[in-house]
């Protein structure tokens, strides 16, 4: 028997560092093993096909012959000729984000330093107003705190442009810090607001891409490469790949290392909840909830975990924490919380029922305008037919209204 | 239709495990206007439909077909169908299966369905709803029944919600032998109509009372036809919903994978393979019909086998040569994993792009070109494309052979 090891040969170190889910199949197509890049498997002599599934939806594949004469064999996975991209940024866009459109040119992104006259910029005169192709514009605004509470604009600088940006794909680094809300403002598109997946120890990356149909699209990449990949597999419905990635290392180690990476640990928890692998959660959801009170998702996942264990009273008490902690960063958390609250409201009475109803009312206001096709709690305030909710870009003030008082 | 045709026996505790299906398809909402007729406030912007009932019927046909190999035998099947005139014209068999689909009908069937499902933990349940739907908040899907729009009672009194059903089908102290594998398919819109935004917490009809007792032990995925906030859709003239058609295509073909267990081979469709295949199938629908559909999932997505196929699924293969002008000079070669040619390919190609069908497996495609060839009418040299083994899986494999640098 031979140990088969896996190696990746990508331009981007970040892509190479992803704990890729791998399938090993026989020539007759039969699936014989699922593993991840850093977990070798034992194979009998024979011919095998090794397929690695990328977060962006592509696969890379190699064929290997195991003779049985060697104890260890390594297979190197790399994109084929048709998947070659000119640089690591574009490789990441293709293999991680799944962006297949070719870059039309390599002109650098122009970042002007003064507000553009036909589009209101930020109040801070030092804040850059990016240009795409010399015409399209967007603005990123940041507000401190949870979206459920009063928000104040963040002081500059709270993000920075990353090197290697072009006129069609640009990346910005969001620094670690306390909870914050991102607002993407475009002149002819609805303003979008989303909770940012950051903690005191973790920042994230924002990827803005030019859309052929007009406007720009926004993608968020987590600081932890493994957690980012895990979330993309879940988003694409690649649950086998997500399960491999979760089973092998990511979810457990993320939870074990939650002191350094609470956001990444939260992703791991969501994955295990989605996949129904409660036995792997142990009591880590309790620690996540207790140690990181600034991350509201801790309460949502802890409550969900307890409810699935049949500990409904404890789950109920945990959910009430969300009145103070606010809207979860991840859409799944908002989903879990509102579903459980609705269930508990039906079964409760007296003061407890009133408290549950107040908590549900707070979250429901956001749940009704959320875009659940996105993994992060994302809201389009224009969905609210309410004169009191003002689109900040129209009014021209960068202060988000306090929705908690509605 | 309470039971599988040909049987009259309901299961009891200890009966052999089986699949217990509950299928609902509501198209001809009698209290909603026809397309083009005046829409009143009580209609909340909705009209009658033309695709859900036939989609539900197709699901029933698949479940009860003798060639369908479910993970457990089909034990019971309950179905409520309210087809539209167009669906009846397209599928006359629906006439004999037409029922009413009121909340009372739904509650009766759901209650019996749950009782049957609770006879063995090895049972599998299969729930499919097609019709009007909406959401009130995030992971919420409200399914509208007959009577919606009649302006009697609360706005959603003639509707039920999936979370209540999902919770009511839990393993509890009262039902310790509840089926551990439960499949839910909600083929309905999940948008939040403007007309509802001014209502204060509209309530649906409760299907099952809340029972908070036991630990979650199920494999219980919920597959939604539309992402929360989006609309579902279908083909006109009674051909069925996009999701329903895609679901059957995946269950019978696209979602199958060859699994080897203890030396035995089996083409299995599982919860997780189905999720991935549905994503791909809906992407194809979007491309073909220029729509923007999405599928999403909820519930508990543990792995479980849904059904088996008797043979390998076929894959549509499309091979293109770039640049197309080079086609007369290119010999396309398609080989299997043993490097043997798998099909006769004209040399040069008589039609382009070249299409064929292959069984799922490993293949390679390459381009052979006479030495010294250049692009016709130019000087750009053409280069051969080496064969490279690729996993070819449903529904489609498109290979582009680039013969210039």
**Which of the pair, A385 or B279, is modelled with greater confidence?**
B279
Q: Computed from CA positions of residues A324, A330, A331, A337, in that sequence, does the dihedral angle turn out positive or negative?
A: negative
Nearest to B139 among A51, A278, A339 (CB): A339
pLDDT band at A259 (very low <50, low <70, confident <90, very high): low
Determine which of B138, B258, B309 to mutate to test the interface with A (most A C-beta atoms within 10 Å).
Answer: B138
Is the pLDDT at A56 greater than 90? The verdict is no
| DSSP conformation class of A68 | S
Q: What is the pTM of this model?
A: 0.89
Whole-angstrom distance, CA of residue A273 vs CA of residue B48: 38
Work out the percent of chain B whose per-residue pLDDT is above 70: 91
Q: In chain A, which residues have their Cβ closer than 8 Å to the Cβ of B297?
A: 237
Q: What is the pLDDT of residue B104?
A: 97
Instruction: Kindly report the three-state secondary structure assignment for every residue of chain B.
Output: CCCCCCCCCCCCCCCCCCEEEEEEEECCCCCCCCCCCCCCHHHCCCCCCCCHHHHHHHHHHHHHCCCCEECCCEEEEEEEEECCHHHHHHCCCHHHHCCCCCHHHHHHHHHHHHHHHCCCCCCEEEEEEECCEECCCCCCCEEECCCCCCCCCCCCCCEEEHHHHHHHCCCCCCCCCCCCEEEEEEECCCCCCHHHCCCCCCCCCCCCCCCCCCCCCCEEEEEECCCCCCCCCEECCCCEEHHHHHHHHHHHHHCEEEEEECCEEEEEEEHHHHHHHHHHHHHHHHHHHCCCCCCEEEEECCCCEEEEECCCCEEEEEEEEECHHHHHHCEEEEEECCCCECCCCCCCCCCCCEEEEEECEEEEEEEECCCCCECCCCCCECCCECCCEEEECCCEEEEEEECCC
Q: Tell me: the pLDDT tens digits for A371-384?
A: 877 889 988 765 44
In tens, the pLDDT along A387-404 reads 333 333 343 333 333 333
**Mutation choice for A interface testing from B139, B197, B367 by most A CBs within 10 A:** B139
State the smallest CA–CA distance between residue A20 and chain B in angstroms.
Answer: 17
**Contact in structure between A207 and A397 (CB atoms under 8 Å):** no
The residue count of chain B comes to 405
Nearest CA-CA partner of B179 in B211, B215, B220, B134? B220
Instruction: Report pLDDT digits (tens) over B215-224.
Output: 888 999 999 9
Residue A82: its pLDDT value, please? 58
Model ipTM? 0.87
In this prediction, residue A405 carries a pLDDT of: 30
Query: Which of B212, B359, B404 is the best mutation test for A, with the most CBs of A within 10 A?
Result: B212
- Contact at CB, B213 and A310, closer than 8 angstroms: yes
Tokens of A161: 């442009």
Coil vs helix vs strand at A237: coil
Does the pLDDT at position A39 exceed 70?
yes
Question: With contacts defined as CB-CB under 8 Å, which chain B residues touch A82?
Answer: 400, 402
Q: With cut-offs at 50, 70 and 90, classify the pLDDT of residue A63.
A: very high
With CA atoms as reference, the chain A residue closest to B300 would be: A276
Contact A309 B295 (CB under 8 A): no
Inter-chain CB proximity B212 and A31 less than 8 Å: no
Residue B337: list chain A partners with CB under 8 A.
27-28
- Residue A104 banded pLDDT, cuts 50, 70, 90: very low
Amino acid A110: pLDDT: 39
Name the phi and psi angles at A299, rounded to 5: -70, -40
From the list A307, A310, A372, which residue is nearest B138 (CB)? A372
pLDDT of residue A157: 78
> Per mean pLDDT, which range of A209-223, A285-299, B4-18, B234-248 is the poorest?
B4-18
Question: Any idea which of A234-238, B33-37, B138-142 has the lowest mean pLDDT?
Answer: B138-142
pLDDT at B148: 95
């Amino acid at each position: 028997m031979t140990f088969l090891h896996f190696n990746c040969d990508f331009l981007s170190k970040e892509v190479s560092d992803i704990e890729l889910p791998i399938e090993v199949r026989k020539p007759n197509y039969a699936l014989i093993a699922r593993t991840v890049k850093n977990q070798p498997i034992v194979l009998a002599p024979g011919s095998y096909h090794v397929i690695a599934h990328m977060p962006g939806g592509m696969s890379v594949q190699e064929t290997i012959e195991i003779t049985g004469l060697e104890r260890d064999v390594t297979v190197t996975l790399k994109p084929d000729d048709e998947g070659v991209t000119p640089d690591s940024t574009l490789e990441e866009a293709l293999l991680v984000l799944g962006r297949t459109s070719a870059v039309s040119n390599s002109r650098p992104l122009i970042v002007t330093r003064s507000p553009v006259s036909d589009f209101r910029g930020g109040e801070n005169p030092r804040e850059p107003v990016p240009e795409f192709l010399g015409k399209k514009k967007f603005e990123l605004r940041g507000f401190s705190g949870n979206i459920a509470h009063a928000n104040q604009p963040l002081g500059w600088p709270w993000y920075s442009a990353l090197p290697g940006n072009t006129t069609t794909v640009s990346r910005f680094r969001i620094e670690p810090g306390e909870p914050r809300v991102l607002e993407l403002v475009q002149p002819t598109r609805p303003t979008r607001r989303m909770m940012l997946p950051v903690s005191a120890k973790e920042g994230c990356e924002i990827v803005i891409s030019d859309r052929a149909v007009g406007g720009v699209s926004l993608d968020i990449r987590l600081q932890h490469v493994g957690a980012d990949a895990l979330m993309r597999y879940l988003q694409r419905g690649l649950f086998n790949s997500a399960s491999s990635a979760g089973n092998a290392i990511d979810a457990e180690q993320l939870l074990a290392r939650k002191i350094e990476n609470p956001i990444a640990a939260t992703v791991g928890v969501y994955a295990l909840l989605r996949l129904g692998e409660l036995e792997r959660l142990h009591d880590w959801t309790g620690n996540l909830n207790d140690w990181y009170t600034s991350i509201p998702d801790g309460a949502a996942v802890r409550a969900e975990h307890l409810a699935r264990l049949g500990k409904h009273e404890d789950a109920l008490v945990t959910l009430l924490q969300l009145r103070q902690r606010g809207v979860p960063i991840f859409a799944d958390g908002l989903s879990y919380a509102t579903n459980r609250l609705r269930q508990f409201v039906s079964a409760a009475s007296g003061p407890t029922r009133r408290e549950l109803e107040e908590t549900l009312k707070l979250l429901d206001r956001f749940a009704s305008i959320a875009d659940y096709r996105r993994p992060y709690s994302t809201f389009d305030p224009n969905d609210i037919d309410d004169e009191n909710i003002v689109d900040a870009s129209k009014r021209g003030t960068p202060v988000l209204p306090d929705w908690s008082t509605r | 239709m309470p039971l599988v045709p040909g049987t009259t026996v309901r299961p009891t505790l200890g009966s052999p495990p089986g699949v217990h299906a509950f299928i609902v398809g509501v198209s001809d909402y009698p209290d909603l206007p026809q397309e083009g007729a005046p829409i009143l406030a009580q209609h909340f912007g909705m009209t009658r439909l033309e695709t859900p009932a036939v989609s539900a019927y197709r699901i029933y046909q698949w479940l009860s077909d003798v060639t369908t190999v479910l993970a457990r035998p089909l034990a019971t099947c309950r179905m409520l169908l309210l087809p539209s005139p167009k669906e009846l014209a397209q599928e006359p068999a629906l006439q004999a299966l037409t029922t009413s689909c009121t909340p009372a009908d739904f509650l009766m069937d759901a209650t019996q369905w749950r009782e049957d499902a609770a006879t063995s933990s090895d049972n599998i349940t299969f729930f499919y709803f097609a019709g009007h739907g909406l959401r009130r908040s995030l992971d919420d899907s409200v399914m509208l029944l007959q009577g919606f729009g009649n302006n009697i009672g609360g706005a959603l009194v003639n509707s039920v919600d999936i979370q209540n059903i999902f919770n009511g089908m839990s393993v509890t102290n009262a039902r310790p032998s509840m089926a551990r594998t439960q499949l839910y398919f909600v083929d309905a819109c999940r948008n939040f109509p403007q007309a509802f935004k001014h209502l204060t917490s509209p309530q649906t009809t409760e299907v099952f009372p809340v029972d908070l007792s036991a630990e979650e032990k199920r494999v219980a995925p919920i597959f939604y036809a539309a992402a929360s906030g989006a609309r579902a859709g279908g083909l006109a003239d009674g051909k069925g919903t996009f999701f329903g058609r895609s679901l059957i295509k995946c269950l019978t073909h696209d979602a199958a994978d060859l699994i080897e267990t203890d030396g035995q081979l089996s083409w299995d469709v599982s919860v997780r393979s189905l999720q991935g295949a549905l994503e791909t199938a809906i992407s194809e629908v979007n491309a073909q019909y220029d729509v923007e559909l999405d599928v999403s999932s909820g519930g508990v997505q543990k792995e479980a086998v849904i059904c088996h196929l008797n043979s390998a699924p076929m894959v549509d293969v499309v091979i293109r040569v770039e640049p197309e002008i080079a086609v007369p000079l290119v010999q396309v070669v398609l080989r299997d994993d043993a490097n043997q040619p798998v099909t006769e390919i004209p040399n040069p190609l008589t039609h382009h792009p070249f299409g064929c069908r292959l069984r799922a497996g490993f293949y390679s495609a390459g381009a052979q070109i006479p030495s010294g060839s250049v692009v016709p009418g130019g000087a750009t040299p053409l280069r051969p494309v080496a064969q490279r083994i690729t996993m070819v899986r449903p529904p489609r494999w498109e290979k582009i052979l680039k013969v210039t640098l």
